Amino acid sequence: MAILVLAEHMDGRLDEVTHRAITAAHLLGSDVHVLVMACETHADALSQQAGSIDGVTRVWCIAAPHFEAQLTEDIAAQAQALLERGGYRYALMSSSYKGKRVMPYLAGLRNTDLVTDLTKIEGEDTFVRPIYAGGLLVVERLKSAVKLLSIRASAFPPAGAQTQAVSIETLPPLSPSLTARRLERRGKSTSRPKLSRARIVIGCGLGIEKNDMPDIEKLADKLNAAIGVTRAVVEEGIVSGDYLLGQTGKIIAPELYIAIGISGAVQHLAGVKDSKIIVAINKDPQAPIFQIADYGIVGDAHEIVPALIALL
């Protein structure tokens, strides 16, 4: 019985979270299939990318114009159709924003259970996931015949490359959903690395104001870093929720996290505490962020950020 990984991608590039989901899939068995659903422009290239990931034994490629929008309804329905053919014990993807929408929808279509955001696979039906912003770990057991899982990408390393040829098979697309359609795609495209795959992330808290953002962007460009923020910054309207890090935002584990003007609330730390090195810049020496920081600078960010830019 095989394991089905639902590929995640953007603009013709497979997202690194898919490489991490494949690592998790491999812990469950050796026959790992990847399902690529994309528009005709990108489907072939994405299938090739999926086939070149270590441990993948088969790629299903479904190309259709409506997959350009990557709607939850279309992706889940197509995955459900493939699972209905049989032969699968697991279906999984990352618990990214997309995974948080698709996997529960798929569970609804199948009328089955789902384990979300798991960080550890303890056995063929036993999974560990954090709750209360990582304050507790729960062990969940799934009894369903096809187990639906979403994995916390930062808990699994990305799978490497393989050179052996993998069979890429095309499947016919289902008709597009009648209940949903995308009206417009919003969000600024940026040349900076994505938060999910950046090696360095600069986190900004309320110690940073809107007119400080050009300096933060300059620092990020010098370091080839991504920018993330606390919820307080999103609530102030300084940047959109796409940048949010934490319990209700993105969970990251970069090599270096630089927290600027961030107090260190537990809900924020839930998203960044797995970073390999944490540097905190805060004018309050008592700020809780210093308790988990590897390096700390007590001082005013308005002086320290320009000094760092000048140094780099």
Helices 72-84 and 97-110, packing angle to 10 deg: 50
Site for ligand FAD (CB under 6 A): which residue of 49, 96, 154, 282? 282
Minimal distance, residue 12 CB to ligand FAD, in Å: 30
* Residue 109 or 232 with smaller CB distance to ligand FAD: 232
* Residue 45 or 265 with smaller CB distance to ligand FAD: 265
- End-to-end, the C-alpha distance of the chain in Å comes to 53
Bridge-based pairing state of the strands 13-14 and 9-10: antiparallel
**Maximum alpha-carbon separation in the chain:** 61
Minimal distance, residue 209 CB to ligand FAD, in Å: 8
Residues 250-279 that bind ligand FAD (CB under 6 A): 261-263, 265, 267-268, 271
- Write the Ramachandran bin of 261: left for phi over 0, alpha for psi from -120 to 50, otherwise beta: left
Site for ligand FAD (CB under 6 A): which residue of 287, 290, 293, 308? 287
List the one residue out of 69, 52, 305 whose CA is nearest residue 203.
Answer: 305
- Write the Ramachandran bin of 228: left for phi over 0, alpha for psi from -120 to 50, otherwise beta: beta
**Of the listed pieces 86-94, 114-122, 214-222, 238-246, which binds ligand FAD according to CB under 6 A?**
238-246
Site for ligand FAD (CB under 6 A): which residue of 120, 125, 248, 292? 248
Distant-in-sequence, close-in-space partners of 75: CB < 8 Å, separation ≥ 6: 6, 37, 67, 98, 102
* Residue 109 or 265 with smaller CB distance to ligand FAD: 265
CA distance 298 to 311: 18
* Residue 118 or 301 with smaller CB distance to ligand FAD: 301
Site for ligand FAD (CB under 6 A): which residue of 36, 37, 153, 233? 233
Q: Is 232 in the site for ligand FAD (CB under 6 A)?
A: yes
CA distance 278 to 134: 18
Q: Name the residue number minimizing CB distance to ligand FAD.
A: 246
* Residue 126 or 248 with smaller CB distance to ligand FAD: 248
Q: Are 54 and 160 in contact (CB under 8 A)?
A: yes
Name the site residues for ligand FAD (rule: CB under 6 A): 205-207, 230-233, 244-249, 261-263, 265, 267-268, 271, 281-284, 287, 300-302
